[in-house]
Amino acid sequence: MVTVVEEVDHLPIYDLDPKLEEFKDHFNYRIKRYLDQKCLIEKHEGGLEEFSKGYLKFGINTVDGATIYREWAPAAQEAQLIGEFNNWNGAKHKMEKDKFGIWSIKISHVNGKPAIPHNSKVKFRFRHGGGAWVDRIPAWIRYATFDASKFGAPYDGVHWDPPACERYVFKHPRPPKPDAPRIYEAHVGMSGEEPEVSTYREFADNVLPRIRANNYNTVQLMAIMEHSYYASFGYHVTNFFAVSSRSGTPEDLKYLVDKAHSLGLRVLMDVVHSHASNNVTDGLNGYDVGQNTHESYFHTGDRGYHKLWDSRLFNYANWEVLRFLLSNLRYWMDEFMFDGFRFDGVTSMLYHHHGINKGFTGNYKEYFSLDTDVDAIVYMMLANHLMHKLLPEATIVAEDVSGMPVLCRPVDEGGVGFDFRLAMAIPDRWIDYLKNKEDRKWSMSEIVQTLTNRRYTEKCIAYAESHDQSIVGDKTIAFLLMDKEMYTGMSDLQPASPTINRGIALQKMIHFITMALGGDGYLNFMGNEFGHPEWIDFPREGNNWSYDKCRRQWSLVDTDHLRYKYMNAFDQAMNALEEEFSFLSSSKQIVSDMNEKDKVIVFERGDLVFVFNFHPNKTYKGYKVGCDLPGKYRVALDSDALVFGGHGRVGHDVDHFTSPEGMPGVPETNFNNRPNSFKVLSPPRTCVAYYRVDEDREELRRGGAVASGKIVTEYIDVEATSGETISGGWKGSEKDDCGKKGMKFVFRSSDEDCK
């Protein structure tokens, strides 16, 4: 390998965290490995950008009046291209192999038309060292289908090259990158109400408007890459460049992404580069015929097999593996206009032990040692560098449970280059509390520690519950809280039972405090915003191949007399609150009170003051709350509002004036180390956010704010469209602007003329 001569004496990450200098040798080694690899790619391939256009060279492509097919299969002794176009007889379509193990064939057009028609089935046939001939789906295939009428039917590769009149043309630009992503995680196949696999177009037309109405700014799509085993949730990928055909065609997926962009939603894709399905018939594993690791996509022996996932592990040091994976990212980004990715299984990639039976304590020696897989880290550095060069506004999220330092620092600083990591400890904490602790034994300091235990120079996406909790055998937060009473107690036509009252209250509180204190972005899995009951059970032999539990029952939240609407309304409102005040992107985060006796947590995030009362039955009148700036505070969001299924105990028209505390600039004389305070009413199991009134703007508003174009933001209100209903300080409409039942929460001025 060519060695990059420059010494990497002082990386910027050492300034951020001086403790990292102890591992200078490790960082020097991996940054040099990265630079060496990048230099080699530039020398032999013309740079990363050119290298990542592999999908235009490999697989089946049309070039200058001919069809050209290329496949990397160094273990093959002979190879043919077969398919419907030649009646599956490859005798006349034998391929040639170059010195790098790449097979190719050029087939001239017939009468001006491609010899391999669009939407026709194809396979790669080759003879390996053992003498046997095998048929495999081309590794770079862009579409793969199976006969749904036959149980366990194998997939066929399908050549996808529609004529210009059938190609989807994008109409809408990518939305700008938000300061803080509010992500709605969704699975297209199970997104419909009917017990069947839903389509990309159905999702685009029926579900995307709901996501927009709930004020999310990003949608994250699971299970897009083709996977032969539906119940794998899309994580056992068989065909990396192929759109999952269960939900439609590549053009249908493009329609979905474009529709999202038209609604102002950015779209992230779950990308699985940590492992591949062990399926030999349908997947990439079929190219492993016993050759050595340098001629394979995967490592050989135990290193190439994930014993818990029952899947194959990539050899990230191989040139063609790098081409394959980097091109895969570019393909989805360029061809489908995805705005970024959520990398699955990053912990498995970071370490040779893959995190199996490994607990991470935060000791840096756990992160930087011989256990670290530098090959995989170099690949991720190359990938992040490439993606941010191609699309500077890309959002790249890492699913890592280990907490490896500098995972989310830029590559040129010495980091791995991700923008965010998932805060995976948070849902584990809530599960532990809901399953194992009585409400009175919840520790306020432990909750705060879990939510704030992160590296503040690296951004996190917080989430209260994961999609894994929705799977059969586990329970969502709402189902843990209310269980069987969700079948009988959710009607608003009867008084709520204590279980339902507690469940709805804590559902709102847990999600809101997770959003407000847990990170720099927020994620919610499809249906959890309204407390979707039951579990997800993919069709399998054990349930007689039923889709009944593999869908989303939107009618529950659309039915006006059911209480699901309250949780959905609060989800809408807390997203609207973040949209207006941008507290997730604020660096100001101060926890001033963690009162174990009162079960109260008070903190400031951005310009807001949050008060959470987790006590089961105590109301605190005149509860003193510390704050930074003096002035007048008002309610911005109240979980106890009637429109959220609360009891309406907190006054929304009350002005809370501050009092100075102690000596200015001397924190020890202040109240909870805050220079000012104000008093509030805090009912049990409620959370309230307060904002400081801008007195200057208040004067402008009184003096003619409409003329000046300035308004004062007050309480969250409901944008009325038709069929208004009034509830306290709230105004509701039976339908939002997307035609779905429910309410649309926006911020408005208290002056009706300024609405």
Q: Which residues are catalytic?
A: 344, 399
Q: Please, are residues 229 and 180 in contact by the beta-carbon 8 Å criterion?
A: no
Phi, psi of 383, rounded to the nearest 5 degrees: -65, -45
Q: Tell which residue, 609, 599, 636, 597, has the closest CA to residue 729.
A: 636
Q: Which residues of 121-133 are buried (b: 16+ CB within 10 A; e: fewer)?
A: bbbbbbebeeeee
Q: Token pair of 445, please?
A: 């300091």
Q: Token pair of 343, please?
A: 């990398």
Q: Sign of the CA dihedral 51, 52, 53, 55?
A: positive
Q: Token pair of 594, please?
A: 């963690």
Determine the Cα–Cα distance for residues 244 and 225; give it in Å rounded to an integer. Answer: 5
Q: What is the DSSP letter of 203?
A: I
Cβ-based neighbours of 551, under 8 Å, separated by 6 or more: 190, 191, 192, 193, 194, 195, 196, 198
Bridge-based pairing of strands 218-222 and 266-271 is: parallel
Let me know the angle formed at the C-alpha of 620 by 614 and 622, rounded to the nearest 5 degrees: 135
Q: How far is CA 604 from CA 607, 608, 612, in A?
A: 7, 6, 12
SS3 percent helix, strand, coil of the chain, rounded to 5, is 35, 25, 45
Q: Please, are residues 125 and 56 in contact by the beta-carbon 8 Å criterion?
A: no
Q: Tell which residue, 596, 619, 640, 599, has the closest CA to residue 501.
A: 640
Q: What is the DSSP letter of 90?
A: -
Residue 496, helix vs strand vs coil: coil
Q: Please, are residues 717 and 731 in contact by the beta-carbon 8 Å criterion?
A: yes
Cβ-based neighbours of 62, under 8 Å, separated by 6 or more: 68, 114, 161
Determine the Cα–Cα distance for residues 570 and 511; give it in Å rounded to an integer. Answer: 10
Q: Tell which residue, 320, 302, 307, has the closest CA to residue 379.
A: 320
Q: Tell which residue, 588, 585, 629, 627, has the closest CA to residue 605.
A: 588
Determine the Cα–Cα distance for residues 639 and 679; give it in Å rounded to an integer. Answer: 18
